[in-house]
Amino acid sequence: MHTQGMIEVVCGSMFSGKTDELIRRLVRATIAKQKVQVFKPAIDIRYAIEKVASHTGSTFSAIPVQKASEIPARLEKDTTVVGLDEVQFFDPEIVTIAQTLAEQGIRVIAAGLDMDFRGEPFGAMPELMAKAEVVLKLHAICMVCGDDASRTQRLVNGKPARYDEPVVIVGASELYEARCRKHHEVPR
């Protein structure tokens, strides 16, 4: 059992296994008889409303919230581990909330995209990564060449999305694929 709070961040491109790793850590905490609660942005309804779900089919019960500020009020007294999925979709207040929870002795495990489809830092993730004690960056496999992929390519009608497209469009393999630096394209 952990004795002090901390922030752990699991990040990377789409299809890199972020949610699988989050779920793995949450299951281990549950096995260790720690009280776990998981929160996710209500915008993410791809697989299930009250679960975090990986592209491979793993799931874990979660509470959907509209804003990060809802999390403290929904936290049960004996919770020792808080999981956060799709952190890039939370508002910036998620950083303050994660820090406050860690200072209260809670282990915060946050997973999300570190970069948007443009290859730019995404939402609150850069600040959360900077303030975390532990950061794990995962890679997917480039769908063009098979090398390690660190970027998320958005596709529109099978072609790379233009830079001026909206940053947030929730989707999976029908809209996105993993790409390496060389094969990631964002036409202007």
d(CA 124, CA 47): 23
103 catalytic? Reply is: no
Q: Is 136 helix (H, G, I), strand (E, B) or coil?
A: strand
Residue 178: exposure state from Cβ atoms within 10 A (0-12, 13-18, ≥19):
buried
The tokens describing 24, both together, are 């793995």
d(CA 66, CA 114): 21
d(CA 62, CA 1): 22
Pick the catalytic residue from 21, 50, 76, 86.
86
**Which residue type does 2 have?**
H
Helix extents (H) in the chain: 18-31, 71-74, 93-103, 125-131
Catalytic residues, which ones?
Answer: 86
